Structure 1
Amino acid sequence: MIDFEAIANPGIRGLRAYDPGHDLVALRRAHEGVLVELGSNENPHGPSPAATQAVLETLSQLYRYPDPLGGDLKRALAARLGVGISQLMLGNGSHELLMQFAQVFAGPGREVVASQFGFAVYALAAQAAGAPLRVVPAFARGAAMPRGHDLDAIAGAISPQTALVYLANPNNPTGTWFGADAFAAFMARVPESVIVVVDEAYAEFADAPDHASALVLQPRYPNLLVTRTFSKAHALAGLRVGYAVAHPDCIAVLERVRESFNVNMVGLSAAQAALGDEAHLRWSLARNAEQREMLAAALRERGYFAHPSLTNFLLVEFGPETQRIEAGLIARGVVLRPMAGYGLPECLRITVGDASENRRLLAALDEVLA
């Protein structure tokens, strides 16, 4: 028998694949289609009607390859963001891009720095590239931004061997964020040879006065990369469209490893249409903010700690009863995201559903607690 692990590249040996949490297809079948899915941070309010129409209009062209450059979507993004087309790179979701950054810039002897309780893909990207990973402790549980990024500590952890830093603002899975002033002070401390990636998958949801996109600092720092996705706020998770914004010279290097036709035709069309429907986006974000506050308040009333969040999910601490509570909810057709893989075994991450889904969650939770 061939030992495939032994002949794999060193960075792949012992690497554990991304864990989606649950086999949702099997759970849907078991619960006959009435599952309340609150574990994947999807947008329950759905995509723009314009995006849905764009999908339908594209279906007749499926025998064609998609635009390998994604030109129409890039032009729409450039106009919206105030950047040049040469500053944009499209990805099959932002996950693909996050992996490619490490592939291009990190490797043996070229380390990656990331925060504790950061998105799981950062560690996967480092290990797949064979790069050492330095994990910096997050803020303590009792801090003003519990379990959020400690930018001072991250800046202090950068060494001459550091090639790449991953940050998320707001962060998954904690929902926490760092302010614009703190990030500006952080970037002033980072050597220009170190690439800083800011993952802004949930940026559209962020409504705190001190939050700002890292894009505002890009003209000053050519080593700053920003990623975003159409999966969350734009509710196109099933089509997998993400993008990176960076200096044109950086994008030119990254393009060398981009897979050909990596964003499908339907995704390109739907994302462009979604980008043009600001009214739907504003409506969806407002519904999320309302339900997030309602859900956080309801959980606090039941005695649970919900982390501050600027996203479409809440990280909630359930204590020693976490596994029992999660199992009880699954038995009642409500799926949340377990957090043991993130080093948070007494927490569950709860996607903010619509009003009906959140009522079902709370009713099921009350049954389990009773």
Structure 2
Amino acid sequence: DEEQRFGVEHKERLKGLRATVEVLTMTATPIPRTLHMALLGLRDISSLATPPLDRRAIHTEVCHYDDRLIRQAILRELARDGQTFFVHNRVFNIESVADRVQRLVPEAKVAFAHGQMSAQQIESAMLRFVRGQVNVLVCTTIIESGLDIPTANTMIIQDADRLGLAELHQLRGRVGRYKHRAYCYLLLPERRPVSPTAARRLKAIEEFSDLGAGFQIAMRDLEIRGAGNILGAEQSGHIAAVGYELYCRLLEEAVGQLKGTPPPARREVHVELGIEAYLPKSYIPSERQRMEIYRRLAACAAASELKQLADALADAPAPPPPMVETLLDLAEIRLRAGAMGVESIIRVEPDLVFTVRDFHAVEGLFKDAPGTVRLPDARTAHWRMPPAYRQMPTLVNVLLNRLRRAGKDS
């Protein structure tokens, strides 16, 4: 459990205890290396996204340090007989921070706890907090996991830019454990600048505040920190800012070249017809599912794979709207046109302009085509359809049918 707290050496040592050991890893935020191995298919992965009954999303806000905001947040919690965590991850001045909070909110009872205190002192502070004798606990990240206090529903994290995504998500998970609305304030320093990487982390934790957002946060952490070394001990490491999907494709190509079996080069076809084609949020609300469908669409290398995806979408509770059907049609157009050696299809009224590698390979496409076909040079064709065919979606249907017929003839 809490896999993100273990290093590669620790986990390998546990595996070495038995020759046939089976490992089940549990975490709310997988470390980049583990998540990457799961996405590559090297490990099985299950995602538990259903929250407990009556659990509500935590309101998360990133803001600069403000005494008035801190006082208002604590007073609001006191008004509903609740409690507040104030996270300050610096032991040397945590007592002075606790004193400052006490001066800001004299109505509250404030205590502090950190990892350098004795076990008895920590236990005493925590018991007072659990019993409700203390309203505000100023503490370090020692509360990151293992606490379930239903009355604690406000979290204030000072210098949040110094903490990682997984830490922030785990800390935020200490509040909102019951049916009450919980609040999490991520405070930034007044004078010290925030690094671009820290800004991306804070934007991610603020954006992904819905229930079950741990997987999305882990994916963003993977983008920010990188996947690390699959065969080595590094659990993070940059993907050279190329994006995760492109990184996986480059990795696949590199492995294929080392094996002497490089993957076949994909022919990307630029299609620009001036028609809406996308997955609307009203049809698929989940951003993660939409991105997964886009990824599968881009990875389709055959018409049969495209049909499987279309059949899967057809099984959805609601029928696909027109822009989704157009998206699938355009994907098939790219696929079939690329197989024939077409480089681009661009709508320039009143013509469709084709750029091809070899005109002889696409002669069947224009044979007996409705309208007129003009050839300005050996690699360009201008197809002017009759006016009735130029309207959408008729133009897309005619083009797709011509490509299908030409593919069968060839």
The TM-score range, normalised by the shorter chain, is: under 0.3
Higher CA-based Rg: 2
Higher relative contact order (CA 8 A, sep 6+): 1
Q: TM-score w.r.t. structure 2 length?
A: 0.20
Q: TM-score w.r.t. structure 1 length?
A: 0.22
